[in-house]
Amino acid sequence: MDKKVAIITGSRRGLGEAAAYRLARQNYDIVVNDRVGKEEVDKVVENLQEKYHVNAIGVMADVSKEEEVQKLLSVVKERFNKIDLLINNAAIVEDMEIADRKTELFNETIINNITSTYLMSKYIGKEMFDHKGGKIINISSTNGINSFFPTSIDYDASKAAIISLTHNFALEYAPYVMVNSIAPGWINTDMNKQLPKKLIAEENEKIYLKRFAEPFEIANFICFLASDECSYLNGEVIKLDGGY
């Protein structure tokens, strides 16, 4: 049986990296993508190959740019000849007060987070549709639903937009491509470990489980959505916040 092929954007670290390892355990071949950090991308690829004996490649591309998405698609098709799963995970965030946020940074966040999801879904989703099968999983956030932080207003707006993209692409590619989104709450990534201890303590108190999620816990659910067992869920957004 042919292995399935997964593309994961923004997968040199954090949730994207955790998803790559979890899917490799399920015998997926993996395309690791990021726009920066080639050494980190290469290390993830090496680990995937050594630990799980899957085919893995790293493709450096800024997936918010159309020409780079097209090049990525060309490389993946040449290497694997198919794509079964796309995880739109690439995102940036920089917290600051609204009064201090320059319009250029606001626009950069919007373009990076929304346009990347749009372009990857447009090109990879069409490829899946033409082959009459595939799944797209978009990574949104509770910041786009019910947890609001003015210090990340552009990030929050982008995650709300990704929910809208999910609904529209699910309709566009029906009935062959299943498009869903997950909206995680706080995750215990390296980036979030740098948050002020006071903020972490305050947010833990708001979470029913009294802790941030571990990346593998979110990756486990991604793996379920990607699996054949998840065969009748489409156009949905699932919160994974431990209760909040």
Q: What is the pLDDT of residues 40-76, one digit of tens each?
A: 999 999 999 999 999 999 999 999 999 999 999 999 9
pLDDT tens digit sequence for 25-45: 999 999 999 999 999 999 999
pLDDT digits (tens, 9 = 90+) for 188-226: 998 888 889 999 999 999 999 999 999 999 999 999 999
Name the residues annotated as catalytic: 155
Question: pLDDT tier at 1 (50, 70, 90 boundaries)?
Answer: low
3-state secondary structure the chain: CCCCEEEECCCCCHHHHHHHHHHHHCCCEEEEEECCCHHHHHHHHHHHHHHHCCCEEEEECCCCCHHHHHHHHHHHHHHHCCCCEEEECCCCCCCCCHHHCCHHHHHHHHHHHHHHHHHHHHHHHHHHHHCCCEEEEEECCHHHCCCCCHHHHHHHHHHHHHHHHHHHHHHHCCCCEEEEEEEECCECCCCHHHCCHHHHHHHHHHCCCCCCECHHHHHHHHHHHHCCCCCCCCCCEEEECCCC
